[in-house]
Amino acid sequence: MSKPINVLAFCGSLRKASYNRMALKVAIAEAPAGMSIGEAEIGHLPHYNADIQAAGFPAAVTELAGRIAAADALLFATPEYNYSMPGVLKNAIDWVSRVPNQPFAGKPAAILGATMGLTGTVRAQLHLRQSMIFLNMLPVNKPEVLIAQAQNKFDAEGKLADAVTRGLIRDLMAALAAWTERLRGG
């Protein structure tokens, strides 16, 4: 890496013992040298409401938009709720998409997701990608990190016990670094 890469990460689950939060911790640990990852807090944002927006963006939205604008790349960890991404993640995206100089545009991004089900968040990731396309984010396409049956891959302390999954997360972080560098023209 020629220049450090500052990544802002979003966890679509607010639960403290979330498998997605555990997977995000693995991504942070497996990030390549020169990459730093900070986490965006999204649980405190108000529900999107155009009347609130008309009165002025809440400070939490403005602060989040600034952090996105300052980041070199984005990382999303999403569970799958009812075949889609969770409302809290969509709410954060909806708020930030409306600020002037929309900060998602042109931003490299990566997605991973964990679920106790068999499909590994494939539908949630597809819906997130649809929002990314509209907002002109530039997602990494491969590898896909779809952590199915997460309860069998993390141990009682929340540590990832599955070497294949760890390798996929490591590969995703390397791909995000390479993609960010490529988009920088490096």
Domain boundaries defined on the chain:
5-184
Tally of CA atoms within 13 A in the half-sphere of 152 that contains its CB: 8
Average pLDDT over residues 91-103: 97
Longest dimension (CA), the chain: 50
Q: Is pTM, for the whole model, over 0.95?
A: yes
Q: What is the pLDDT of residue 2?
A: 73
Q: Which fold has domain 5-184?
A: Rossmann fold (3.40.50)
Classify residue 141 by burial, with Cβ atoms within 10 Å: 0-12, 13-18, 19+. exposed
- pLDDT, tens only, 2-27: 799 999 999 999 999 999 999 999 99
pLDDT digits (tens, 9 = 90+) for 63-83: 999 999 999 999 999 999 999
pLDDT at 186: 65
